[in-house]
Copies of this chain bind each other. A is one copy, B any other.
């Protein structure tokens, strides 16, 4: 094996990146530490030196993955957008983020299959979800302007929005087979985005 340059920071990042790919495709159980080491081009010992254990490594991956979502949400520039447009912007954000980050989708799915056991163990401040606030604000603004139905509950809306977006990505393989049609391709995702936006707005508006 060729010698690695000594660079602790880079090595840490390489391990994290390789681990994320391995955990995303095989889950915590299925992932192999030796495979992660090989993928990162690093010796296995360093994984234990930097992260301590397979589980601890998984937790670091989980945190990094949710951090990406948080950053994407934080970039949502809400200035000047009213109720309708803001909801549309949030839907676009989710679709674009999920389409561009399949490893996020996979790891969230693994985490759910594991009853969120590791997510629960993560410090809550690492899981801020700015978009929740955007959705709350958007619904409140829309109601105040008289464009949204006044009886809407902000959390219900947020849940409807998130679930309606997510399942298009999490279930695209089985649905593609059942519908005998490739639902994972960019054009289909774009179509689903349009439909989802229409559905959500029909539900929100008077």
Q: Residues on A close to B: CB < 8 A?
A: 25-27, 29-30, 106, 108-116, 119-120, 127, 129, 132, 155-156, 158-160, 162-164, 166-168, 170-179, 181, 183, 191-192, 195-196, 198-200, 202-203
Q: In the complex the two chains form, what is the Cα distance from A178 to B108 in whole Å?
A: 12
Asked, given contacts A112-B171, A112-B173, whether A199 binds B196 with beta carbons under 8 Å apart, the answer is no
Residue from the list B120, B160, B168, B174 in contact with A195, Cβ < 8 A: B160
Asked, given contacts A27-B27, A198-B203, whether A175 binds B162 with beta carbons under 8 Å apart, the answer is yes
**Subset of 16 A-B contacts with CB under 8 Å:** A30-B30, A108-B171, A108-B174, A109-B170, A110-B113, A111-B173, A116-B177, A120-B177, A159-B168, A159-B175, A159-B195, A162-B175, A163-B163, A164-B164, A167-B167, A203-B203
Do residues A113 and B27 form an inter-chain contact, with CB atoms below 8 A? yes
* A27 neighbours in B (Cβ, 8 Å): 27, 29-30, 113
Residue from the list B109, B116, B158, B200 in contact with A109, Cβ < 8 A: B109
* A202 neighbours in B (Cβ, 8 Å): 199, 202-203
Asked, given contacts A109-B109, A109-B170, A199-B200, whether A116 binds B176 with beta carbons under 8 Å apart, the answer is yes
* A129 neighbours in B (Cβ, 8 Å): 178
Do residues B127 and A178 form an inter-chain contact, with CB atoms below 8 A? yes
* A173 neighbours in B (Cβ, 8 Å): 111-112, 114-116, 119
* A160 neighbours in B (Cβ, 8 Å): 164, 195-196, 199
Do residues A166 and B171 form an inter-chain contact, with CB atoms below 8 A? yes
* A163 neighbours in B (Cβ, 8 Å): 163-164, 167-168, 171, 175
- Return the chain B residue nearest A108 by Cβ: B174
